[in-house]
Amino acid sequence: MYERVVRPTLFRIGRGDAENAHETTLRWLARTGRSRTATRALAAAARARVDAPRTVFGVRFPSPLGLAAGMDKDGRALAAWPALGFGFVEVGTVTARAQPGNERPRLFRLPESVAVINRMGFNNAGASALAARLDAIGPLAVPLGISIGKSKVTPMADAVGDYVASVRALRGHGDYLAVNVSSPNTPGLRTLQDAAVLADLLGALQGELAGAKPLLVKIAPDLSDEAISELLEVCVAHDVAGVIATNTTLRRDGLAPADAVLAGEAGGLSGRPLADRAREVVAFVHKQTGGRLPIIGVGGIATADDALRLLDAGASLLQLYTGLIFRGPALVREINRGLPAEQA
Ligand SMILES: Cc1cc2nc3c(=O)[nH]c(=O)nc-3n(C[C@H](O)[C@H](O)[C@H](O)COP(=O)(O)O)c2cc1C
């Protein structure tokens, strides 16, 4: 149904600008989520089966498959995601200050490659607005992660204070916080992955959190093994609860010839061409930490097999975004059905 009817319609809506399709989808899911009857109907239509619970960093997840950050930045459709079968949702990335993001168009579909390039640039309503929305909504059906990034107007030298302000606004909400230091679309952001700088940032954030929430770090797929090793040492030294691997890539390998014209668009590439590298990073993190640091594996999951391979590589939890654009809720259903039964 999604691939035959919904996707062609959405792609037509988004012909001039793919973001139009995104906005239509989110608006529709937000509206659906406001009615309990409509949400139940959505769950029935999606035939979601969620019965592979896991407890990771002290949080119980009804399914290890979550919605990745960036799809629902401001938490507008929070009731709808569990109805589609997601076992958790990561909202954000939000920043201390509301910001419009980059100029449109800033989202490009590469259908032959089952991929997307985006340079959204953290368009979001701000950390306080998200806190207010979460207050109004009350408890959710599944665990919630909140991704935090740096406001564009804040100079890199003041980055720590900017992240701290977001944590202060949001530390009473969600089940974990994710520090996004890996988006390629905020100038300088990825330099926060350097060990010394990251140590300062994590020290300040853990100080602010005072154990209130698990803190995770989301990393780029473009780091060298050496840089990842150093980063992991800092994470472990600062009691980070887990690593999210990976964000989008600046590389352009593995694109279909038909998508070559869009390869030159600035931004991060996600979807199928990212799958191998994401799995490699997950396996590397798993090996380097002796399996002791939980990993959320994300990048290019387009089939149930992709999901299983990321779990085999050492991920405890999974997320996806781009696969949903191309395959719709059937992908979530297919993955949930293929998951091994209960672990720990
Ligand atoms: C349009 C778009 C916006 C995104 N925005 C964010 C974001 O705000 N924060 C973040 O941590 N990751 C963001 N991501 C990255 C995804 O969360 C994910 O790490 C990446 O897309 C790889 O997974 P996928 O191949 O399943 O999409 C975004 C991805 C896309 C496609």
- Write the DSSP assignment of 163-208 as a string of letters: HHHHHHHHTTSSSEEEEE---TTSTTGGGGGSHHHHHHHHHHHHHH
Residue 324 CB–ligand 1 contact under 6 Å: no
Separation of 68 CA from ligand 1 center, angstroms? 6
The pick from 108, 182, 247, 325 for probing ligand 1's pocket by mutation, whose C-beta has the most ligand atoms within 8 angstroms, reads: 247
Residue 93 CB–ligand 1 contact under 6 Å: yes
Separation of 93 CA from ligand 1 center, angstroms? 9
Give the model's pLDDT for residue 343: 54
Residue that has been written with the tokens 């419009």 in this structure: 100
Q: What is the pLDDT of residues 19-32, one digit of tens each?
A: 888 988 999 999 99
Question: Which of 70, 106, 116, 75 is closest to 323 using CA atoms?
Answer: 116
Separation of 222 CA from ligand 1 center, angstroms? 14
Residue 221 CB–ligand 1 contact under 6 Å: no
Q: What is the pTM of this model?
A: 0.97
Helix, strand, coil % (nearest 5) of the chain?
A: 45, 15, 40
Tens of each residue's pLDDT in the chain, 344 residues:
788 778 888 887 767 788 888 988 999 999 999 999 999 999 999 888 888 899 999 999 999 999 999 999 999 999 999 999 999 999 999 999 999 999 999 999 999 999 999 999 999 999 999 999 999 999 999 999 999 999 999 999 999 999 999 999 999 999 999 999 888 988 888 888 778 899 999 999 999 999 999 999 999 999 999 999 999 999 999 999 999 999 999 999 999 999 999 999 999 999 999 999 999 999 999 999 999 999 999 999 999 999 999 999 999 999 999 999 999 999 999 999 988 765 54
Give the model's pLDDT for residue 3: 81
Query: What is the distance between the alpha carbons of residues 266 and 171, in angstroms, rounded to a whole number?
Result: 33
* DSSP structural state of residue 157: G
Residue 218 CB–ligand 1 contact under 6 Å: yes
Ligand 1 atom nearest to 275, measured from its CA? 25
Strands (E) located in the chain: 54-56, 59-61, 65-67, 88-94, 107-110, 115-118, 144-148, 176-180, 215-219, 242-245, 268-271, 295-298, 317-320
Residue nearest to atom 21 of ligand 1 (CA): 270
Give the model's pLDDT for residue 238: 97
The pick from 99, 113, 122, 248 for probing ligand 1's pocket by mutation, whose C-beta has the most ligand atoms within 8 angstroms, reads: 248
Mean pLDDT for the chain overall: 94
Q: Which residues are catalytic?
A: 183
Separation of 271 CA from ligand 1 center, angstroms? 9
Separation of 189 CA from ligand 1 center, angstroms? 15
Residue 277 phi/psi, 5° resolution?
Answer: -65, -40
Residue 270 CB–ligand 1 contact under 6 Å: yes
